[in-house]
Amino acid sequence: MPQLEAAGVDPRHAKIGRVVHRLGVWGLPACVGAALGFYLADRGTPWLPSMLALLLILGALSLLAIASGRALQGRAFRRTPEGRVVRRRVLVATGLAFAAGFGRLVLIWVEQPSPLTELSRDDFDETFILDSKNYSELDAGLEHYLVLLEARPELFAADALLGPDDERLVLDAWEAIYAYSFALDQIRVFYEDWYRFDPSRAQRSQHLRSFLLTFAAELALYEKATRVVTLLGNNRNVVKYLDGQHTERGLGESSFSNFRQELQGARDATRVIAGKQYLRWLEQAMKGRAEARAIGYAWLWDRVERHLILIEGFGVLAAGTKTIGSDAELLKRGFRRAWYPAQKGVAEWMGDTRVRRINWYLINEQMQAELVEHLEPGDILLSRKNWYVSNVGLPGFWPHAVLYIGDPEQFTAYFDDPGVRAWVREHSGEDIDLPTYLSHRWPSRWLRFGFRDHGQPYRVIEAISEGVVFNTMAHASGDYLAALRPRLSKKAKAQAIVDAFSMLDRPYDFDFDFATDNALVCTELVWRAYRPAADKHGLDLRLVELAGRPTLPANELAKQFVAEHANPNAQLEFVYFIDAVEHQQAAVVSDEAAFLLTPGRTKWDYRKQ
């Protein structure tokens, strides 16, 4: 005590200082113990932000208590020949306290909500199921078109000039690759807030799944972009051709250079390396692989590792050379352009609204009921659902075609026709109506036709990813819908529907190959159903060549209608059109004049509305 008094320190302050100092000294081990206990117990209390925020606050207070306690005891300074200086221990404690306070501020930033973390648990699960499926389909689509190009290495040797057919092939493939990459990048961007989910048991499933999906999308883009740049970049004339403006394809100027810059730069390589390290940490510290297996997403972990193996196979030196060349594009331009400038608004809109449009569409039940009153069996429907992965790789505004057959009652009444009955009698040898003929020929299919889905009758036959199936108007209508009527007899329509019945249950044709009928796409179902044959009047629906093979995008059906419009020999007539205004989240009944303009819309047209 006399020593303290001699130093000018109040004994009472010194006693309080010792108590405060001890509280600080005890507080730090308490923080470490709490952190260790929480990690071992893993009871479900969120580490981020609840537990870590508490520990940072307690840690900062403890460190400040140590510093202030030593100050109250008169031990914060030491005398030197130059004068009094703050003791190192006090400086360290004060610095660490401010660091803990800064960490708490960082946590406040991390706690900010994003469209991903604002989802409820059920909405997250539903959205993730859809997006993980979309990732698989987009990655497969990219692989398909890359293999198509890689099968023609002679096009990219040296600086050979492309012929007209080769230009069309390359541009078809490039348009699809560009669009698939854009859609895949939107998945990557949406889930890149994975770190906002707590890695403890409370949100570990969301944390793990979000990381795996955003990393899988990142790897798929980097892997495919490296292959694209390596292949196409060998021919400067191909690069020049693709960098030209192709407005009819929705491709702006410098599309190839923008693609290379945004997906194949050093920044992307750094993400790959960092993501790989975090993946290993998840596996070792969190048993992430076992967790993924337990929640049914081991396949996604495996896909990530497969991408990594392929990327590592490119070679560090080769990949480094490519990334340096890619980033040099920034220096050439002098400023950074937005990737997909024409689609920038789409990306922003998708980021804000896409998760709010899961499983509901703009054409409501009342509009569907009003539409059905105008339809007849045999009508061809063109349908569009915004934000759907099936839109991405298909050219033009209309991505889907459907064959309307009506419910069993409408079907039976419509085909109660002498000409249809005579054809059935000739075909079956019995004096029966069309429904009876179908029930005899395909009893299980006719029985299924009479079922209902959530109280809604089946009214259409369509080819979707699950295959050729019956479906309801609620499923078929979506956000935009147009109805066109073949100018054919009821007999010809009956024959078309019988052919469609024969194709039920066949798988979806992801190769879009119209040369075979063992698997079908949506327009191939309509094309084959209405294809003319002996004793069968039909429609002359002209195929077009896309990526080197004959096919029929749904948008071409609309184009053919426009080309034949006002012609007395036109094969189709207008019935109904429901347009959409996406930003108002509303569908509106429109007219034939508006429909005639739709084939000229781009697939991103809803951005402008």
| CA 239 – CA 233 distance, rounded (Å) | 6
Q: What is the pLDDT of residues 343-386, one digit of tens each?
A: 444 444 444 444 445 667 899 999 999 999 999 999 999 999 87
* pLDDT attached to residue 388: 67
- What are the pLDDT digits (tens) for 271-282? 888 889 999 988
Does residue 316 carry a pLDDT above 90?
no
Tens digits of per-residue pLDDT, 185-218? 888 888 988 888 877 777 888 999 999 999 999 9
**For residue 456, is pLDDT > 90?**
yes
> What digits encode the pLDDT tens for the residues 298-314?
999 999 999 999 988 87
Cβ 590 vs Cβ 596: under 8 Å: no
Tell me the pLDDT band of 402, cut-offs 50, 70 and 90. very high
The helix/strand/coil state of 545 is strand
Of 9-23, 185-199, 242-256, 329-343, the range with the lowest mean pLDDT is 329-343
Helices 121-150 and 164-191 pack at an angle, to 10 degrees, of: 160
User: Does residue 31 surpass a pLDDT of 50?
Assistant: yes
**DSSP code string of 243-261:** HS-BGGGTB-TTHHHHHHH
Residue 233 is predicted with a pLDDT of 86
More confident residue, 415 or 25: 415
Cβ–Cβ under 8 Å, residues 412 and 606: no
Position with higher pLDDT, 148 vs 162: 148
Q: Give residue 378's region: left, alpha or beta (phi > 0; psi -120 to 50).
A: left
Q: Name the percent of the chain in helix, strand, coil, to the closest 5.
A: 60, 10, 30
Task: Calculate mean pLDDT across residues 221-229.
Answer: 91
Our CA dihedral for 163, 168, 171, 173, rounded to 10 degrees, sits at -120
Residue 591: the pLDDT is 95
Backbone Cα Rg of the chain: 33
pTM check: above 0.85? no
Q: Quote the CA–CA distance of 268 and 118 in Å, as a whole number.
A: 27
Kindly state the average pLDDT of the residues 254-280: 84
Chain length of the chain: 609
Is the pLDDT assigned to residue 581 strictly greater than 70?
yes
Q: How is residue 429 written in tokens?
A: 């040898």
Contact partners, residue 71, CB within 8 Å, separation at least 6: 17, 90
Burial of 324 (0-12, 13-18, 19+ CB in 10 A): exposed
Q: What is the mean pLDDT of the chain?
A: 81
Please indicate whether residue 422 or residue 164 has the higher confidence score (pLDDT): 422
Please tell me the least confidently modeled range out of 31-45, 251-265, 332-346, 506-520: 332-346
Q: What is the mean pLDDT of residues 283-294?
A: 89
Sign of CA dihedral 551, 557, 562, 568: positive
Average pLDDT of span 323-348: 42
Q: 94-103, 288-297, 513-522: lowest mean pLDDT where?
A: 94-103
Q: What is the pLDDT of residue 452?
A: 92
Phi, psi for 260 (deg, rounded to 5) = -65, -40
Residue 401: per-residue pLDDT: 96
